[in-house]
Amino acid sequence: MTNLPDGIQRREFDGRQRLATRGQPVYGEPTDGEWRCWDAGRSKLGAMLEAGMEIDLVGGEGVLYLGAASGTTVSHVADFAGPTYAVEFAPRPMGDLLDVAEARNNLFPLLKDARKPDTYSHIVESDLDVLVQDVATRGQARVAVDNARFLTDDGQLLLAIKARSEDVTADPETVFDSVCDELTEAYEIIDRQRLASHDDHLGVVARKR
Ligand code: SAM
């Protein structure tokens, strides 16, 4: 079961109960006063929370987010979390991410390659509570394993695996099993679920060993 902090609430938008965080709108999402709808159709982490995966959040966590893109999901994370380091290697979305960070003084965008954690280890703390990863690149398990160094003992990994990024021809379930296998080098898998609103993706919750 998902444990949610006060900073993530279920509120009604368009006649439906949906997740929401409190902060400045980012991607045209519906709002209700200070609350902004967290669109699970546009966010794999949102979909993992909606699916009731075994995620344990209390609010104020230190977070490393890999694959931040333009900031759709990481903006929601920064709304309820503490220091949130957002790694993205593509310069174009980084411009948007910098705008998102303007309104959030706990969000720190880093134009870095998540496969090279040495290049940001002097900036990012090494006792973070949560690693969120959505990089859609080959070698997703290796990225998660190599970045486990930033997590505190028993810190959580919240990972979206895209099967096609590993192998376009292979059966997705085979790819997911192989990625999860490789993750066990650094993590214990707590929960895994296919994400209904995101074709070809597996959500994984794991704890650092
Ligand atoms: N997580 C985002 C969200 O929900 O708002 C969407 C992320 S998008 C699916 C994947 C992103 O990962 C892309 O912006 C891509 O540039 C980035 N990415 C892929 N490989 C990366 C790497 N090695 N280091 C950093 N970013 C990477």
Q: What is the pLDDT of residues 110-144, one digit of tens each?
A: 999 999 999 999 999 999 999 999 999 999 999 99
**Residue 196 annotated in ligand binding:** no
What confidence tens digit (pLDDT) does each residue in 150-205 have?
Answer: 999 999 999 999 999 999 999 999 999 999 999 999 999 999 999 988 999 999 99
Task: Give the Å distance between the CA of 88 and the centre of ligand 1.
Answer: 6
pLDDT confidence of 77, banded at 50, 70, 90? very high
**Residue 134 annotated in ligand binding:** yes
State if residue 134 touches ligand 1 by the CB under 6 angstroms criterion. Answer: yes
Could you tell which of 84, 111, 116, 135 is best to mutate to test the pocket of ligand 1, judged by most ligand atoms within 8 Å of the CB?
135
State if residue 90 touches ligand 1 by the CB under 6 angstroms criterion. Answer: yes
State if residue 133 touches ligand 1 by the CB under 6 angstroms criterion. Answer: no
Asked if the model's pLDDT at residue 1 lies above 90, the reply is no
State if residue 140 touches ligand 1 by the CB under 6 angstroms criterion. Answer: no
> Comparing C-alpha atoms, which of 99, 73, 79, 5 is closest to residue 35?
79
Is residue 13 within 8 Å of residue 32, measured between CB atoms?
yes
State the Cα–Cα distance between residues 25 and 13, nearest whole angstrom: 14
Fold category of 57-208 in CATH: Rossmann fold (3.40.50)
Cβ within 8 Å of residue 146, ≥6 positions away:
115, 117
| CA dist 19 → 52, 62, 89, 104, 204 (Å) | 12, 21, 28, 19, 19
**Residue 176 annotated in ligand binding:** no
* Ranges of each domain in the chain: 57-208
Asked if the model's pLDDT at residue 2 lies above 90, the reply is no
**Residue 150 annotated in ligand binding:** no
